[in-house]
Structure 1
Amino acid sequence: MVKITRITTQQKRKDRYNIFLDDGNGEKYGFSVDESVLIENRLRKNLVLDDSMVTTLVHQDTLHKSYTLAINFLSYRMRTKKEIYDYLVKKEVDAEHIKQIMDKLINEKLVDDRQFAEAFVRTRIETTSKGPQLVKKELLEKGVEPKFAGEAINLYTYAIQYERAEKWVAKKLNGSSKNKSFKQKVQQLQGTLMQKGFTQDVIQDVLTDVNEMKDDDAEWGALVSQGEKLLRKHRKKTSGYELRNKIKEGLYRKGFTIDQINQFLDEYEYYIDNEDIEL
């Protein structure tokens, strides 16, 4: 049995208290507790404690400190159950305490994976250009149950997808290389939209509609630039029919149409047939 002889406030933590005890051999420091533990157990000077009670108090305080860790972790943003669990494990919290803390957080509705998923989807829609499939993958990686992730991702409707994808495509088309064919640009955008997690129907519809943005003058300028480059490259080693085929194959691989390519070959026929003439 021990008796509490003094209770003092810690200098750096005014919400924590040092408990001094006397076991019959003089006063010495016993342990420290949070204010909530102090009040809950009505700790005061001259209160007599047995060994079991001391152990219980230390246990309660350790649990409270670990719970406070979780609350602080939650104070920055919403968290999933998995995120909190992993954080407490990282902080080396006792497994039994982790379970108690998780149960308490869930009962107090401080942790709700369904609400987290819905808020996460809304935030991603507003702040990123990521599509729903990628957002859903992020939710699953954060430990959200597939059911909740699936329900939340329904907030990312076709209309929202189309608006986000179309806006992103228009921006990228305006800023892309002027020497690439429109088809090549669109193919690259298609691949990126898939990587961003947009659904196939949205990608197809956006890229179909984006064909209206094609600039024929810019397309011809890109073809001429690429065609002249191919002409300079190949006419040092070949000429005539073979040279025409080399240029035609190269331009076709870059996404230009046969009609445009033939027009270029016709207009540059003089340079094709006369390899000594500079462009």
Structure 2
Amino acid sequence: MAIITKIAVQQKNTNRYNLYLDEAYAFSVDEAVLIRFALKKGKELTDFDITQIQYEDDIRKAFNEAVHFLSFRMRSEGEIKKHLAKKEWNEPIIGAVLQTLREHQYVDDLEFAKAYVRTQVNTGKKGPQIIKQELLQKDVQNSYIENALTLYKTEDQILHAIQLGNKHAEKNKHLSEKILKQKLEQFLLTKGFSFDIISIAMEEIHFEKKDEEEWLSLVKQAEKADRKYQNLEGFAYKQKMKQALFRKGFSLELIDRYIDEKENRC
């Protein structure tokens, strides 16, 4: 048995108290632990009491760490678990902390998923599949994710796909219409939109080119190819140019036109 002979508040952290047993410093505890175990001068503690007190204090310290982590933004339980594990808290401690957080309604993975989806919908930069993958990486269970994704209405997905597609099309307007269409569809897939949404959005995205626009795109690509194959002559030059421009998605008619016009200029 040991007797508490002194309790002193810490100067740098007034929520923690130093306990002295039999006139010697033993350990410190959080104020909540001090109150829970009714620790006061003169109280006798067994070895089991001390072990239990220190275990509960560890839970409190980990809990405080979790609350601090939550103070910056909402977190999923999985994020909190990973954060505490990095701080080297063991599984029983982390489990106890998560249970306390749930009791205080500091964590709710369904509400977290809904808030996350609402934020992503407002930014309009990602499709549902990317959002789902990000939530899975945060260890949110699939049923919560599917529930939350109902907030991302079909009309919003189409609108966002169109907006992203038009921006991407503008950045890649030098490409042929055929290649640009392929790149747009692939781009929207990587952004997390479904084939059905992409199919609808493509009808509104401005990627189709007038004849003159397609011609200007070909000329730009042809000039690059010409610099690469300028040392070739005759049939070899024509074949390399045709192959290069055909791979870029231009029609053989336009390619032949370019080569014929180039020959006439020479």
- TM category (shorter chain) comes to 0.7 to 0.9
Contact 2:158-2:197 within 8 A present in 1 as well: yes
Bigger Cα displacement from structure 2, 203-212 vs 65-74: 203-212
Q: Which has the larger radius of gyration?
A: 1
2:153 is matched with which residue? 157
Summarize the Cα distance change of 1:205–1:14 in structure 2 as closer, same or farther, 3 Å threshold.
same
The residue type paired with residue 51 of structure 2 is: T
Q: State the distance in 1 between where 2:231 and 2:102 align.
A: 75
What are the superposed Cα offsets for residues 191-220 of structure 1, whole Å, 9 maximum, x if unpaired?
Answer: 121111111112122223325763543322
Q: State the distance in 2 between where 1:106 and 1:117 align.
A: 15
Q: Secondary structure at the match of 2:71?
A: helix
1:30 is matched with which residue? 26
Q: Which runs of 5+ in 1 are unaligned?
A: 272-276
2:13 is matched with which residue? 13
TM-score, length basis structure 2: 0.86
Q: CA shift at 1:12, angstroms?
A: 0.9
Q: Secondary structure at the match of 1:143?
A: coil
1:135 is matched with which residue? 131
1:253 is matched with which residue? 247
Quick check: 1:218 aligned with 2:222? no
Q: Give the alignment of 1:1-279 within 5 angstroms.
A: 1-22=1-22, 27-127=23-123, 129-176=125-172, 178=174, 180-211=175-206, 214-230=209-225, 236-239=231-234, 246-265=240-259, 267-268=261-262, 270-271=264-265, 277=266
Query: Percent same amino acid at aligned positions?
Result: 38
Question: What is the count of residue pairs matched by the alignment?
Answer: 266
What are the superposed Cα offsets for residues 18-41 of structure 1, whole Å, 9 maximum, x if unpaired?
Answer: 11222xxxx111221111122223
Summarize the Cα distance change of 1:233–1:139 in structure 2 as closer, same or farther, 3 Å threshold.
closer
What are the superposed Cα offsets for residues 31-55 of structure 1, whole Å, 9 maximum, x if unpaired?
Answer: 2111112222332222333333333
Instruction: Provide the aligned C-alpha RMSD in A.
Output: 2.6
Q: State the distance in 2 between where 1:243 and 1:116 align.
A: 61
1:274 is matched with which residue? none
Q: CA shift at 1:232, angstroms?
A: 6.5
Q: Secondary structure at the match of 1:224?
A: helix
Q: State the distance in 1 between where 2:85 and 2:237 align.
A: 68
Q: State the distance in 1 between where 2:18 and 2:202 align.
A: 69
Q: CA shift at 1:7, angstroms?
A: 1.4
